[in-house]
């Protein structure tokens, strides 16, 4: 069972991003939040670790892909 990234409750969530989950109540709160509200900024702060994880994963994937391309080019030159 995963924990909601926002409220911390244990949930069987259908919304999972990486190892993070978002419960239905928090999902509804996000979707109905006005971006001009102070609470919206607080929600963005909660998502910062998730965004950093996604970016790190993307960078790792890019490095792996680039390394594989370089290795193939070296083999092709041989």
Per-block average pLDDT, block size 10, for the chain (78 residues)?
A: 83 74 86 87 83 83 70 62
For 17, counting Cβ atoms within 10 Å of its Cβ (0-12 exposed, 13-18 middle, 19+ buried), the class is: middle
Q: Which pLDDT value is given to residue 50?
A: 81
Q: Are 33 and 44 spatial neighbours (Cβ–Cβ below 8 Å)?
A: no
Domain boundaries, the chain: 2-77
Matching residue, tokens 């900024």: 41
Q: Which pLDDT value is given to residue 19?
A: 74
What is the model's pTM?
A: 0.56
DSSP label of 4: B
Give dist(CA 16, CA 23) in Å, integer: 9
Tokens describing residue 38: 């102070």
Give dist(CA 49, CA 59) in Å, integer: 15
């Amino acid at each position: 069972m995963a924990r909601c990234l926002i409220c911390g409750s244990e949930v069987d969530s259908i919304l999972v991003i990486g190892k993070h989950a978002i419960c239905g109540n928090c999902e509804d709160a996000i979707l109905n939040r006005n971006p001009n509200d102070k609470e919206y900024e607080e929600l963005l702060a909660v998502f910062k670790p998730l965004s950093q994880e996604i970016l790190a994963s993307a960078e790792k994937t890019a490095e792996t892909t680039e390394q594989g391309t370089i290795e193939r080019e070296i083999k092709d030159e041989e």
